[in-house]
Amino acid sequence: MVENVHFLPNDPPETIGRKLLRCNLSDLAAMGARPEGWLLTLARPQNLEDEWFEGFCKGLKEDQKLFSLSLLGGDTTSTKGPLVLSLTIIGSVLPGQAITRTGAQAGDGLWVTGTIGDGALGLRALQGHLSDPSGYLSARYRLPQPRVGAPLYGLASAAMDISDGLLQDAEHLARQNDLGVEIFSAEVPLSAAARHCGPQWLETCLTGGDDYELLFSVPPEHEADLEHTGSLGTVLGQVPVTRIGRFHSDYKGVRVLQAGGTPLTFQKKGWSHI
Amino acid sequence: MVENVHFLPNDPPETIGRKLLRCNLSDLAAMGARPEGWLLTLARPQNLEDEWFEGFCKGLKEDQKLFSLSLLGGDTTSTKGPLVLSLTIIGSVLPGQAITRTGAQAGDGLWVTGTIGDGALGLRALQGHLSDPSGYLSARYRLPQPRVGAPLYGLASAAMDISDGLLQDAEHLARQNDLGVEIFSAEVPLSAAARHCGPQWLETCLTGGDDYELLFSVPPEHEADLEHTGSLGTVLGQVPVTRIGRFHSDYKGVRVLQAGGTPLTFQKKGWSHI
């Protein structure tokens, strides 16, 4: 993460480090892996204040405890440029139990954890483009909730986490499996705060990114159980899961359909067609 | 490693990545660990040319083969500041066989691999402060020879690699063991190229850094064997080893003695006394 690219100098230091750590945890969660430890390297500008650094470390310390991690190493160096933070996370998974991005079959359902779009709306709220009276959306942007511990093995045929936007990442997942995927926009779970923003923000929710939710394919034989329980256990508690679409073999890429079956078109290029 | 701090924009890209990797390998070597894989993260300025990047990758690829490593992951991001390179290396060592910086006893010998000061002299040569007709010194600065595979377990009581300069690092080793260490400057192994620079460069050799040789303590019962063979096997071949001093319990820190026993004094502050 680079200052002025991934965060701003006036962002709260407590959440910058936590977000970096949590984005990494989300990657592990998507593979069904258990985090073991992390390494942190900083290129630190000389004018960075100790107070900033203390807040940064305090936030990381909290998350280290929350997720039962050990700091294994790293390095600190000086730079005349912006602050650069590099974090490596190491996790483990039993042999043969890692979930990858390939393995989805035509007919599998496409499922997500949690709600989609909160992070993207939170960023817009912090930029002053929409109101966020409860602060829920900006909190979701600043502090992702990685779904560490979600028991994907034996359930999901393929998985990834959503960081670049639901549609972009669903497109990646479909293409890596040489499949198409149909997404029903009315099924995409939105938080109360996101719904409150109004339908004009739906496109932002679907394409905006910063979700750090899990996106995974589930073979039909496992879907009834999942539908019944409606949630998965994670180290931070139960998280709801929702089927939002299905994989097909007769086309490649992503189709988004509204309730009733008409294709959804987007202002932003690239999402109006397959 | 940060551009303009640890390397210059006109340094050959082939060696920049290799040096970063090799500095990390040297850390593993000092623990008696075997390298398994590495992760690389780059914060890349937009004006960085593809040609530079190709050379950078080519160098790393060569070293990956040379040291039998796998690239396990990493990330690339953009920055408006200088190029920042962050490399994490992962190694393994059998339980209980890792060599740490503590464990040295009074009476242990202080030993080094290879020759000392070449890297520091190489940097001065590249800066135009001395001549390096063969290019040996600048090559040693740009391309450290990490002593991966040196069989320290069962031989060394404590070890580290020399990156900040022999005297500084010997000071660290002594203090972490709550001991003093006496170094005989005439015993410190210098390359032919370093000796050719003349005695006025001895201080640079002893304090300059960028050696990436191993510095280790050896209990007296293992010293006769080591003296007899005079070298250790590494993945890049045999490397000579030399005893340069001995640990003591009656003072803390580093003493440097010339042949004859008179203390060596230094122009640079901090090395004229304990």
**A234 in the same domain as A129:** yes
Distance linking the first and last C-alpha atoms of chain B: 32
Say whether B27 counts as a known binding-site residue. yes
CB contact under 8 A, B81 and A6: no
Kindly report, residue by residue over A47-65, the tens digit of the pLDDT.
999 999 999 999 999 999 9
Flag whether pLDDT at B268 surpasses 80: no
CA pair distance A12, B221, nearest whole angstrom: 57
| Cα distances (Å, whole numbers) of residue A74 to A34, A41, A42, B140, B214 | 20, 5, 8, 25, 20
> And the tokens for A87?
């974090």
Do A39 and B79 make contact, defined as CB atoms within 8 angstroms?
A: no
- Of B39, B43, B88, nearest to A84 by CB-CB distance is B43
Q: Are residues B70 and B117 in the same domain?
A: no
Please tell me what DSSP assigns to residue B249. Answer: S
Kindly state whether residue A140 falls inside one of the protein's structural domains: yes
Does residue B187 register a pLDDT over 70? yes
Residues A100-125, mean pLDDT to the nearest whole number: 97
**CA triplet B203, B208, B214: central angle to 5 degrees?**
110
Question: Is B1 in the A-facing interface, judged by CB distances under 8 Å?
Answer: yes
For residue A181, the domain's CATH number is 3.90.650.10
pLDDT band at B269 (very low <50, low <70, confident <90, very high): low
Does B174 fall in a domain?
yes
Here the contacts of B54-59 (C-beta below 8 Å, separation 24 or greater) are: B54/B13, B55/B12, B55/B13, B55/B14, B56/B13, B56/B14, B56/B16, B56/B17, B57/B17, B58/B14, B59/B13, B59/B14, B59/B15, B59/B16, B59/B17, B59/B18
Q: Is A44 on the interface with B (CB under 8 A)?
A: no
Pairwise CA distance, residues A120 & A26, whole Å: 17
In the predicted model, what is the mean pLDDT of residues B81-100? 95
Token digits for A56?
């940064």
Question: If 0-12 CB within 10 Å is exposed, 13-18 middle and 19+ buried, where does residue B37 land?
Answer: middle
Q: Kindly tell me if the per-residue pLDDT of A272 is higher than 50.
A: no
- Rg for chain A (alpha carbons), in Å? 19
| CA atoms in the 13 A half-sphere facing the CB of B258 | 10
Q: How far apart are CA A3 and CA A186, in angstroms?
A: 37
Q: Determine whether the interchain pair B43/A79 forms a contact, defined as Cβ–Cβ distance below 8 Å.
A: no
Same structural domain, A145 and A215: yes
Mean residue pLDDT across chain B: 94
Q: How close does chain A come to B41, measured CA to CA in Å?
A: 7
Measure A232 CA to nearest chain B CA, in Å.
28
Q: What percent of chain B has pLDDT over 70?
A: 97
Beta strands in A80-156 (DSSP E): 84-92, 109-113
Regarding whether A205 and A130 lie in a shared domain, the answer is yes
Half-sphere exposure of B167 (CA within 13 A, CB side): 24
- Mean pLDDT calculated for residue range B207-224: 97
Residues B191 and B145 in one domain: yes
Q: Which residue range(s) make up the domain with B70?
A: 13-92
Q: Tell me the mean pLDDT in the region B238-249.
A: 98
Domain endpoint, select from A60, A92, A124: A92
Candidates B119, B110, B106, B96; CA nearest to B32 is: B96
CATH number assigned to the domain comprising residue A70: 3.30.1330.10
Q: Is 60 exceeded by the pLDDT of residue A269? A: no
Res. B9 pLDDT band, cuts 50 70 90: confident
Taking the Cβ of residue B97 and every Cβ of chain A, the question of whether any pair is shorter than 8 Å is answered with: no
Query: With 60 as the cut, is the pLDDT of residue A141 above it?
Result: yes
B98 inside domain: no
Answer whether residue A273 shows pLDDT above 50: no
Residue B102 amino acid letter: T
Whole-angstrom CA distances from A227 to A223, A242, B3, B110 are 6, 8, 53, 67
Q: List, for residues B11-30, the tens digit of each pLDDT value.
A: 899 999 999 999 999 999 99
Asked if residue B268 is part of any domain, the answer here is: no
Q: What pLDDT score does A35 carry? A: 96
Same domain, B129 and B241: yes
Last residue of a domain, one of B46, B63, B92: B92
Q: Do A5 and B77 touch (CB under 8 A)?
A: yes
Residues B125 and B212 in one domain: yes
B79·A78 Cβ contact <8 A: no
- Cβ of A81 within 8 Å of Cβ of B77? The answer is no
Q: Check whether residue B124 and residue B197 sit in a common domain.
A: yes
Helix axes B13-30, B50-66, angle to 10 degrees: 30
The whole-number average pLDDT for the span A119-136 is 96
CA–CA separation, B17 and A154 (whole Å): 41
What is the pLDDT, as a whole number, of residue B265? 82
- For residue B233, tell me if it sits in a domain: yes
Q: Which of A4, A28, A84 to mutate to test the interface with B (most CBs of B within 10 A)?
A: A84
| Assigned domain for A269 exists | no
Average confidence (pLDDT) over A213-224: 97
pLDDT of residue B271: 52
Shared domain for A134 and A31, answered yes or no, is no
Verify that A33 and A164 share a domain, yes or no.
no
Q: Is A212 helix (H, G, I), strand (E, B) or coil?
A: coil
Arithmetic mean of pLDDT, B181-189: 97
Same domain, yes or no: A234 and A150 = yes
Is the domain of B82 the same as that of B124? no
Q: Does A46 touch chain B (CB under 8 A)?
A: no
Query: Could you read off the pLDDT of B25-71 as tens digits, one per residue?
Result: 999 999 999 999 999 999 999 999 999 999 999 999 999 999 999 99
Answer whether B81 touches A (CB < 8 Å): yes
> What local confidence, expressed as pLDDT, does residue B272 receive?
43
pLDDT above 80 for A23: yes
B5 touches chain A (CB under 8 A): yes
Does residue A138 register a pLDDT over 80? yes
**What's the ipTM?**
0.77
Domain boundary among A92, A121, A145: A92
Provide the domain count of chain B: 2
